[in-house]
Structure 1
Amino acid sequence: MSTTVHDRQSRDHTRTEAAPQPMLAGEKSPAELFLVKLFAIVPALALAAAVPLAWGWGLGWTDVGLAVFFYTLTCLGVTIGFHRYFTHGAFTATRGLRIALAVTGSMALQGPIIGWVADHRRHHAYADREGDPHSPWLFGTSAGALAKGFWHAHMGWMFQREQTNAVRFAPDLLADPDIQRVNRWFPALTVVSLLAPAVAGGLITWSWWGALTAFFWAGLVRVAVLHHVTWSVNSICHMIGDRPFTARDKSANFWPLALLSMGESWHNSHHADPTCARHGVQRGQIDISARLIRIFEKLGWATKVRWPRPERLARKLNTTGSAS
C-alpha cells in the first residue's frame, strides 16, 4: 500500500463514526487477557520495587543511560509512529521510516500496532462518549464515579474483554504487508525490548551483574514508567489542565507531562486538530516528537507534514476562556 493511501485512510478513520462495520470484534481470548495483565502488572511491580532498590542496590550510571536511551527510543516510536503517523496520518513516511516506527513503537510493550491504532481511532471517534474505550467520564461526575473513571481510563479498560474491530478502524494497516508482519512480530519484539538493555549492560560492564541491573532498570522499570506516562494522557489529560482550544470532548493540556510524554500531553491542542504533526502549538510548549518529525522532513524521510497553520488555530480558539 502506498504511503499516500495509508495517510489518507488514517485521517479518514479518525472520524469513522458512521462506518458500516460494527465497533467491536468479539472478545479477547483468555490467553490475550493474561498477556495484557502480565505486561501491565510485572513492570508495575518492578516500578514499585525501584525506590527501595535504588536506595541500596544496583543503580549505576550505565543503568541510567540505558534506561534513558530505551525510554526515548520506544516513547518516540509510540508518539511519532503509533500515534501521529499510523493513527492520524500527520505526515507521509518512506517505507524504511514506516517500518522503523512500527518496530520501535511495538517495543514500548503497549500491544501490537494494529490493535493500538484501532483502539485510538475509536477513542477519537467517540471521545468522552459511550463507545470511547478509555474515557474517565463514563460513570458520572461524583467523587466516587470520577475515581472509578480515572482507574478505568488509566489502565482498567485494558482488562475488559471487548475488542475493537480493526476491520472498521484500521483497514489500511490490515492491508499493509509490512505492518501485518510487524504486528505478528510483537512477541519477538517484546523479548528484544527487554533483553537488549540486559545485553548492552552486560557488554558495557563486562559482567552478569551489569546485565541483571540493566534488565531491571532499562527493561522492566523503563517499560513501567512509559506505560504510566502514556496511560496518564488517557486519564489525567481528560480530567485536569487547560483547554485553550474548542473540542467536542474534555481533553486538556497538562504541562507537567510534556517532557516525559514527548509532547503528547498537549492533549487539548491535539484533539482540536488531530491530524496536526505538532501538539505543542503555543509559545513555550515543548514537543520533542514534533522536533524529530521536522528532522525527518529535512532528511526527506517525512513529506506532506501537516504543520499547524495560524488560521486553523484561530478558528479553534476557546473564546469562553481556558477551563481547568
Structure 2
Amino acid sequence: VLWLTTGQDRREWVAVHRKHHAFTDRDGDPHSPLLRGFWHVLFLNAYYYAREARNPVTIRRFAADIRQDRLDRTVFSRGWSGLALGTALLCLILGLGPGLLAAGVHAVLYVFVVAPLINGLGHWRGAKNFGNTAYNSRVLAWITGGESLHNNHHAHPRSPRFSARRLEFDPSWVVIRALAAVRLVVITGAQIPRTAPL
C-alpha cells in the first residue's frame, strides 16, 4: 500500500523512520524541527526525507533486517511505477477525472500537509502524556490517521495503537481492529497502556 499511495520503498521509509526514533530531536535526526526549524521541516519535509532515504549507510544500519526479494528489486524499488499503478487503480475504480483528482489531492495533502504536520508540529507544540520530546494533537489525529498522537507513538513505537487516553481518537486503530476481526491482519506488538502516566 505504501508503494501504491506514495511511491516509497519500504526499506527506505523504515530506515528513515527508525533513524528518527534513534536520534529524536538530536544530531542525526533526519527531520527534527528543533534542530532545523519548524518552518524548514514544514516546507522541506519531503526534501529531508528523500535526502536521508538516499543515504546507503542509513539503509544498511536501520533496515538491515528487511531483506529485498526479487519483487522488491524489480518492481517496488521503482517509485514512479507504484504511483502510476495506484493512480491507474483509482481511475479504474472512480473514473478518469475523479481518479486523477483523487490522486492529485492525496499527493498534495500527503507530501505538503499531513507528513510535514506530523514531523513538524509533532515535535514542536501540543500535549504530552509521556516524557519524550514529541507532542500530541488530538484534533490533527482525526486527519492523520492517529499519527498526530506523536508523543504516544514515541513512547510506544512498536504499538499499532496511537491513542493512550480516553479522549484520544486513533482512526487507524479502528481500521486495524476491523481488519483483525475479519482475519486480514494479526495484531502484534505491545499495546499502549490505557491510561498514560503523566
**Residues 246 and 110 (structure 1), Cα distance of their counterparts in 2 relative to 1, 3 Å cut:** farther
Distance in 2, matches of 1:229 and 1:199, equals 26
Equivalent pairs, count? 194
Amino acid at match of 2:48: W
Q: Which residue identity lines up with residue 237 of structure 1 in the other structure?
A: G
Match of 2:139 among 239, 256, 261: 256
- SS of the equivalent of 1:138 reads helix
Consecutive unaligned residues in structure 2, runs of 5 or more: none
2:171 counterpart residue number:
288
Output the amino acid matched with 1:157: Y
The higher relative CO (CA closer than 8 Å, separation ≥ 6) is in 1
| 1:92-241 equivalences in 2 (<5 Å) | 104-109=1-6, 111-139=8-36, 145-152=37-44, 154-158=45-49, 160=51, 163=55, 165-174=58-67, 183-184=76-77, 186-202=79-95, 211-215=96-100, 217-227=101-111, 228-241=113-126
257-266 or 301-310: bigger deviation? 301-310
Highest CA radius of gyration, 1 or 2? Answer: 1
Q: Is 179-188 or 271-280 further displaced after alignment? A: 179-188
Q: How has the CA–CA distance of structure 1 residues 236 and 191 changed in structure 2, closer, same or farther, with 3 Å as cutoff?
A: same
CA deviation vs aligned residue, 1:159-215 (integer Å, no higher than 9, x gap) = 64762521211112125566556633533221112222223343xxxxxxxx23431
2:128 alignment partner, one of 216, 237, 243? 243
* Structure 1 position 293, deviation (Å): 1.9
Report deviation, 1:134. Answer: 0.4
Which of 125, 129, 154 does residue 271 from structure 1 map onto?
Answer: 154
Deviations 1:71-122, CA, capped at 9 Å, x for gaps = xxxxxxxxxxxxxxxxxxxxxxxxxxxxxxxxx1112215211111110000
**1:221–1:172: structure 2 CA closer, same or farther, 3 Å change rule?**
same
Q: Give 1:243 deviation, angstroms.
A: 1.2
Give per-residue Cα distances to partners, 1:207-231, cap 9 Å, x unaligned.
Answer: xxxx23431x211122211222122
Q: Which one-letter code corresponds to 1:244 in the other structure?
A: N
Q: Distance in 2 between matches of 1:170 and 1:179?
A: 14
Q: How many angstroms does 1:240 deviate by?
A: 1.4
Aligned to 2:192: 308
Partner of 1:9: none
Distance 1:173 1:148 in 2: 31
Structure 1 residues 220 and 149: CA distance shift in structure 2, 3 A? closer
Contact 1:117 1:170 in 2 (8 A): yes
TM-score normalised by L of structure 2: 0.83
The residue identity in structure 2 corresponding to 1:212 is G
Compared CA separation, residues 223 and 195, structure 1 to 2 (3 A): same
Amino acid at match of 1:132: D
Q: From the superposition, tell whether residues 122 and 110 of structure 1 become closer, same or farther in structure 2 (CA, over 3 Å).
A: farther
Letter paired with 2:15: A
When normalised by structure 1's length, the TM-score is 0.53
Contact 1:174 1:180 in 2 (8 A): no
| Distance apart, 1:150 and its partner CA | 4.1
Q: How does 1:54-73 map to 2 (within 5 A)?
A: none
Q: Structure 1: how far apart are the matches of 2:82 and 2:47?
A: 24
Amino acid at match of 2:67: L
Q: Which has the higher helix share?
A: 1
Question: Could you tell me how far apart the structure 1 residues matched to 2:17 and 2:161 are?
Answer: 18
